[in-house]
Amino acid sequence: MKKRKKGARGFNSVMIVWLCATLFILLFPIFAIILMSFNTSKYGALPFEFTLKWYKQLFQSADLLSATGYSLWFSILVSTSAAVLGIMASMALRRMSRKWNKAFPTLMNVPVIIPWLVQAVALLLLFNLLGIGKSFASLYFGCLVAVMPHSFLITYSRIMTMDKYPEEAGRTLGATSMRIFLDITLPMVFPAVLSGWLMSFVLCFNCFSIQYYLAPFGTYTLPMLIYTMIRAGYNPDINAIATILTIVIAIVIFIMNKIGFDVGQLVGQGHKEK
């Protein structure tokens, strides 16, 4: 009996080896980069000698830091817009007929399926036609188109599975629709909105192909700058910035976990229903 239970719940040795191999392949490059950012050798050669000179170089060269700053505030802007639009679309769609309830999320899935490169080229053509070409507006809308479906789909699935009776109870108690939204609906969908926001943030930060095609000349986001730098010749201060970003993201996930959102919840259905 005990043995069967163990077999059903735990891992056998083959699976453990497999798991370790998978985790190694997934995580080794990240650790390698973190290690290399502290290594003296420019080309990642061994033996390992500890140094902080790449960090010093990073903070002295204005390029990487300003590009990081630009990427950060730009991603915050885009993911916040996506979150707001995601809530608005979900709220509206909830009141529509079943036909739209099926059709619209499917339509919203299209940008998820189409490769970003194709989307970027298509958007560039469209923006050229509209006369705004490569500009901040086209960069903003291009990234928004790419990330909005994720924010919408997460919020929407939460809002559709959510218990609607607390809102009705609010109405019978005399609350106007605005108050119900602020007091009841928004707090109830908030975990989903937050996870949608995080998802959009990460995607927007990383969507190199769209940024590459749509960013105005002279504007560099972090992925664009790294690409340019690698083309010109690899420089280990890229490792340093990658390390800083990895650590910041790890801390954010750790904090989110501590305040009660587990990672599965964040990328899944949001708040668990009892």
Binding site for other proteins (CB under 8 A): 163, 165-166, 168-176, 179, 183-184, 187-188, 274
Tell the smallest beta-carbon distance from residue 88 to other proteins (Å): 21
Closest CA to 91 of 159, 150, 188, 158: 159
| Cα(262)–Cα(264) distance, integer angstroms | 6
Q: How many CB atoms lie within 10 A of CB 35?
A: 14
In the bound state with other proteins, the residue whose beta carbon lies nearer, of 49 and 168, is 168
Q: In Å, how far are 12, 38, 71 from 132, measured between CA atoms?
A: 59, 44, 21
In the bound state with other proteins, the residue whose beta carbon lies nearer, of 13 and 172, is 172
Contacts of 273 (CB under 8 A, 6+ apart): 161, 162, 163
Tell the smallest beta-carbon distance from residue 151 to other proteins (Å): 21
H helical segments located in the chain = 2-9, 13-37, 53-60, 62-94, 98-113, 116-130, 136-161, 165-172, 177-180, 186-206, 208-214, 222-232, 237-258, 263-267
In the bound state with other proteins, the residue whose beta carbon lies nearer, of 150 and 158, is 158
In the bound state with other proteins, the residue whose beta carbon lies nearer, of 27 and 169, is 169
Tell the smallest beta-carbon distance from residue 98 to other proteins (Å): 12
Tell the smallest beta-carbon distance from residue 80 to other proteins (Å): 22
Quote the DSSP letter at residue 50. Answer: B
In the bound state with other proteins, the residue whose beta carbon lies nearer, of 113 and 173, is 173
In the bound state with other proteins, the residue whose beta carbon lies nearer, of 159 and 222, is 159
Tell the smallest beta-carbon distance from residue 185 to other proteins (Å): 10
The 3-state DSSP class for residue 39 equals strand
In the bound state with other proteins, the residue whose beta carbon lies nearer, of 56 and 179, is 179
Tell the smallest beta-carbon distance from residue 87 to other proteins (Å): 17
Closest CA to 138 of 153, 118, 121, 150: 121
Tokens, residue 72: 């950060």
Closest CA to 203 of 241, 153, 264: 153
Contacts of 241 (CB under 8 A, 6+ apart): 58, 64, 68, 222
Tell the smallest beta-carbon distance from residue 270 to other proteins (Å): 13
